[in-house]
């Protein structure tokens, strides 16, 4: 088979695989968690509840003074108990409306909440992680409640992210999905899974798989994945409502850290959801979003939280951020 024919077959397979899945999450199934000790969290929670029509019965109120970046396992256990006590049992996903805390020791807050705190990962942070039972799945396993964090500061950015999530899906735009294999070899472990360049006409999407360090000037970005510690030229890009973007590096999920680019920069640049690790994961591709799986499920009509959670095989250290309900390809 020729290279061109092979690429066409792979692109067709992406679309066919996407068409086989079904999105499950609805706004009425989302629980919202607000930190009453954080004024930005209170303001964002009220705004998001109005925007998405979330009733007070689905809003859990907690108090975490001081906005610590990390919680210890005992403090997290108390927090989870308080959240679960307040939310109805049919809440299938949870959104934390704050910037910090975003980690539980070496685990991310979102993974600790959804899968349970994994102490073994903290003993050897570079070791393989606990398997995600939702990885590349169609149905959420019984008892599993997805979670995502929408950073509350700057508040105007948080509101813009929520508005982009709400706007996604009202019309399907001409869009591009960009996958960059960069010169930072250690951060390119998932490049082998980048889909080939080509068009998916039924979704008005064009895939661009490139060998370069920087994407500059693109005005149609629906998905952008790369491997760099610092990603440049973000200010030159136009992200469409519902856009997903992330970079494979060790500390993107350390939102308020300064060693590497925080995943917050993606939201500030115009993305609607992102992902990053909060502790040293080494460069296991399984600890980061799988490019083809993420693309397949998003094109199928999955929400941002569903597509991202389905795409990470070992998510213990990974923080999912943004608007969970964004769905640019509704069915």
Q: Cα separation of 303 and 107, whole Å?
A: 23
Per-residue confidence in pLDDT tens, the chain, 331 aa: 444 544 554 555 555 454 444 546 899 999 999 999 999 999 999 999 999 999 999 999 999 999 999 999 999 999 999 999 999 999 999 999 999 999 999 999 999 999 999 999 999 999 999 999 999 999 999 999 999 999 999 999 999 999 999 999 999 999 999 999 999 999 999 999 999 999 999 999 999 999 999 999 999 999 999 999 999 999 999 999 999 999 999 999 999 999 899 999 999 999 999 999 999 999 999 999 999 999 999 999 999 999 999 999 999 999 999 999 999 999 7
Which three-class secondary structure state does DSSP give residue 74? helix
| pTM: predicted TM-score of the whole model, two decimal places | 0.95
Residue 11 in tokens: 């692109």
Question: CA dihedral in degrees (188, 193, 196, 198; nearest 10)?
Answer: -110
Strands 30-35 and 93-96: parallel
Residue 313 in contact with residue 135, Cβ under 8 Å?
A: yes
Burial class of residue 192, CB neighbours in 10 A (0-12, 13-18, 19+): exposed
Contacts of 11 (CB under 8 A, 6+ apart): 195, 196, 198, 199, 200, 207
Which three-class secondary structure state does DSSP give residue 313? coil
Q: Cα separation of 126 and 165, whole Å?
A: 34
């Amino acid at each position: 088979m020729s290279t061109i024919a092979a690429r066409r077959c792979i692109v067709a397979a992406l679309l066919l695989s996407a068409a086989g899945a079904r999105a499950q999450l609805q706004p009425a199934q989302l629980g919202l968690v607000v930190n009453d000790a954080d004024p930005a969290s209170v303001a964002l929670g009220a705004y998001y509840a109005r925007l998405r029509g979330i009733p007070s019965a689905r809003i859990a109120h907690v108090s975490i003074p001081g906005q610590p970046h990390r919680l210890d396992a005992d403090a997290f256990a108390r927090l989870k108990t308080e959240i679960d006590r307040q939310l109805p049992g049919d809440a299938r996903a949870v959104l934390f409306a704050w910037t910090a805390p975003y980690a539980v020791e070496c685990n991310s807050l979102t993974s600790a909440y959804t899968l349970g705190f994994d102490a073994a990962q903290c003993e050897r942070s570079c070791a393989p992680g606990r398997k995600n039972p939702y990885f590349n799945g169609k149905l959420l396993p019984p008892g599993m409640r997805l979670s995502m964090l929408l950073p509350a500061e700057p508040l105007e950015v948080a509101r813009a992210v929520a508005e982009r999530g709400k706007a996604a899906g009202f019309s399907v735009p001409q869009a591009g999905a960009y996958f960059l294999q960069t010169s930072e070899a250690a951060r390119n472990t998932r490049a082998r899974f980048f889909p080939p360049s080509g068009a998916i006409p039924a979704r008005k999407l064009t895939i661009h798989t490139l060998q370069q360090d920087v994407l500059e000037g693109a005005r149609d970005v629906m998905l952008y994945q790369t491997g760099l510690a610092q990603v440049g030229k973000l200010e030159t890009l136009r992200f469409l409502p519902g856009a997903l973007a992330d970079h494979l590096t060790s500390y993107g999920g350390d939102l308020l850290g300064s060693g590497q680019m925080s995943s917050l920069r993606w939201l500030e640049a115009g993305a609607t959801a992102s992902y990053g690790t909060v502790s040293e994961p080494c460069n296991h591709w399984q600890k980061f979003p799988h490019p083809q799986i993420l693309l397949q499920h998003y094109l199928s009509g999955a929400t941002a939280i569903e597509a991202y959670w389905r795409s990470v095989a070992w998510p213990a250290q990974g923080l999912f951020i943004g608007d969970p309900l964004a769905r640019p390809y509704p069915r």
